[in-house]
Structure 1
Amino acid sequence: MKRVFLPLWAYRYFILSSIKTEFRSRFARSKLGGLWMVLHPLALVLIYALILSQIMTAKLPEVATQYAYPVYILSGIVGWMLFSEILGRSLTVFIDNGNLLKKMSFPKLALPLIIIGSGLVNFLLLFITMFVVFGFLGHLPFHMLHWIPLLVLITLGLAAGIGLFFGVLNVFMRDIGQVMNIALQFWFWLTPIVYMASIVPEKHHWLLMLNPMTGVTMGFQHVLLYDKAPDASLLVYPSVFAIVSLSLAMVIFKKASEEMADVL
């Protein structure tokens, strides 16, 4: 483990400066700057709310606001955006930085860490914006926010583990990245973000729970929608899934690390 983390610590300033540079370059010539990070998810919420609000609000009688459904979507989508961004970018992180890997000597794991850092910055901006929207909608859940770091940590573990695993494979089999991008679109609809888990027939609930993001998403919804602590039993499977996927990712990364530079 020391051989993995000590080089990363030695390059911590490189990682931090890369996160700052990426953030600045992304919006260097943009008038709205960081607002573009939150406009896309907010636009999705608005579209779904306009189309489905009348149908879905009736299924949230315990939420004391007339804007229950938009609040429901925001509560779930904030975690999904963090997950999908890190996973999606991790799929091509080594391919996109192939020239850098050939020209410079630095720990390759610094690249996924830069993506994670950037994703956390985006998450923070979206989270703050979400609470501003909540304020306008008359919904301010404060009592259980201390659970958010745990939910974020599990989300990061899932995204980084799955993303790094398939990101390494994608270096050698480029079709994997394309397949995973399509899978992410189906994955979104297999996660109870736009709809409630309660509307899924009981006999199919086990399929819904096979998705590790289901428990995490419901955890975010418990905290941000109902202002309650998340159901700990729903977080066990995602946590184990995250640990296993991270372990498998590290194993395959170590085995393929030397060959990646040649293939790239």
Structure 2
Amino acid sequence: MFADLRALWQSRKLIWVLVRREVAARHAGTAAGVLWPYLQPLLSVAAYYLVFDVVFSMRLGAGAPTHAVGLFLVVGALPWMAFCDAVSRGMSSLIDAGGLLQKNALPPVLFTARAVLASAVIYGPLLLLLTIAYIPLHGFSLALVSLVPLLGLLLVLCLLLGYLLAILAAALRDTVQLVGFLLSVGIYLTPILFPLTMFPAQWRWVLWLNPMTAPVIGFQQLLLQGAWPPVAVWVALLAWIGVLAVALNILIARSRDQLVDWL
């Protein structure tokens, strides 16, 4: 894995070119142009707010970080969209680049990094915009500085998971269908649709098996209450990153000679 990290650093200028082309390809042929990748998630979260807070005026009970359902839902939904987009595109990155990798001795990690970073270019500004929009709820809190490491760790998590799944998908195409299903139902095992306090206490450990539980709780604490994310958030994030790094290191070592043949 360290060889791939060196390749990423040495090819950082190339990666930036690839990321720009990837972002451009996502809106090619659309009337809205470069705005379209940003409009899609913005319209989705705006619909959540309109339906739950404006139309139905739904409220959460005691123990929730906020009582407005729409405000609560948006804070978790946008990071979840970013995670799903980065992981799913990263997972398919090597399969999509199979023809190019068979003809050129390029590090495969470049293509996964391109897909994940392109998602970061789109969703990163949206998460910062969301942060600014939620400042009136708590005033400008000093805890907002923790947004930078939180976003950084989320990016690392997506890159590691996306690359690991990309190698597995190259070896076994069923991985794409299985992970697609898990991403579609994973939102129900993350405290996005409901506060963590509403989940039965004896089963809350199940939620921590989802790598997005910790980032979502961190965003909720930051944006809804202006509070520092609890220690459990950082510990869980670092634990997930550590486990994925070890698993990815083993997988890279065992698949390096066969990866291009699988593609």
> What SS does structure 2 have at the residue aligned with 1:225?
helix
1:189-209 Cα deviation digits (max 9, x unpaired): 111112211211222222223
Partner AA of 1:37 in structure 2: P
In 1: Cα distance, 2:175 partner to 2:51 partner:
34
Mean CA deviation greater in 25-34 or 253-262: 25-34
2:227 aligned counterpart, secondary structure: coil
Root-mean-square deviation (CA), in Å? 2.5
**8 Å Cα contact 1:86-1:116 kept in structure 2:** yes
Amino acid in structure 1 at the alignment position of 2:70: P
**1:63-142 mapped onto 2 (5 Å cutoff):** 63=66, 68-131=68-131, 133-134=133-134, 138-139=136-137, 142=140
CA distance in 2, matches of 1:42, 1:199: 27
CA offset at residue 61 of structure 1?
A: 7.2
Indicate whether 1:161 and 2:122 are aligned.
no
CA distance in 2, matches of 1:19, 1:219: 28
The answer as to 2:250 corresponding to 1:247 is: no
Residue by residue over 1:138-173, the C-alpha shift from the partner in whole angstroms, topping out at 9 and shown as x without a partner, is 547532221112212222233222222222111111
SS in structure 2 of the partner of residue 158 of structure 1: helix
* Structure 1 stretch displaced more, 74-83 or 222-231: 74-83
Find the counterpart in structure 1 of residue 185 from structure 2: 186
- Shift of the alpha carbon at 1:240? 0.9
Partner of 1:55: 58
1:238 maps to 237
SS at match of 1:210: coil
Greater displacement, 188-197 / 198-207? 198-207
Q: Relative to structure 1, is the Cα distance of residues 59 and 33 closer, same or farther in structure 2, using a 3 angstrom cutoff?
A: farther
Partner AA of 2:224 in structure 1: L
Residues 228-257 of structure 1 show CA distances to partners (whole Å, capped at 9, x for unaligned) of 100012321221111111221122023212
Q: Residues 77 and 193 of structure 1 are in contact (CA less than 8 Å); yes or no, is this contact kept in structure 2?
A: yes
Shifted more, 193-202 versus 49-58: the winner is 49-58
Q: Deviations over 1:201-233 (max 9, x none)?
A: 222222223323212210011111111100012
Change (3 A) 1:199 1:79: same
CA contact 1:147–1:229 (8 Å) conserved in 2: yes
Evaluate the alpha carbon distance shift between residue 258 and residue 31 of structure 1 in structure 2; reply closer, same or farther with a 3 A threshold.
Answer: same
The structure-2 alpha-carbon separation of the partners of 1:62 and 1:150, relative to structure 1 and needing over 3 Å to count, comes to closer
Structure 1 residues without counterparts, runs of 5 or longer: none
Q: In the alignment, is the contact (CA less than 8 A) between 1:131 and 1:140 conserved in 2?
A: no
**Matching of residue 210 in structure 1 with residue 209 in structure 2:** yes
TM-score by length of 2: 0.87
Distance 2:65 2:173 in 1: 47
TM-score, with structure 1 as normaliser: 0.86
Cα deviation digits, residues 48-76 of structure 1 (max 9, x gap) = 4455443334557764xx8x332222222
SS at match of 2:121: helix
How many equivalent residue pairs? Answer: 259
| 2:258 aligned counterpart, secondary structure | helix
Amino acid paired to 2:183? L
CA distance 1:110–1:141, change in 2 (3 Å): farther
Extract unaligned runs of 5+ from structure 2. none
Identity of counterpart residues, as a percentage? 25
Q: Which amino acid aligns with 1:255?
A: R
Q: Distance in 1 between matches of 2:41 and 2:6?
A: 37
Quickly say closer, same or farther: Cα 1:58–1:51, change in 2 above 3 A. Answer: farther
Match of 1:259 in 2: 258
1:112 alignment partner, SS class: helix
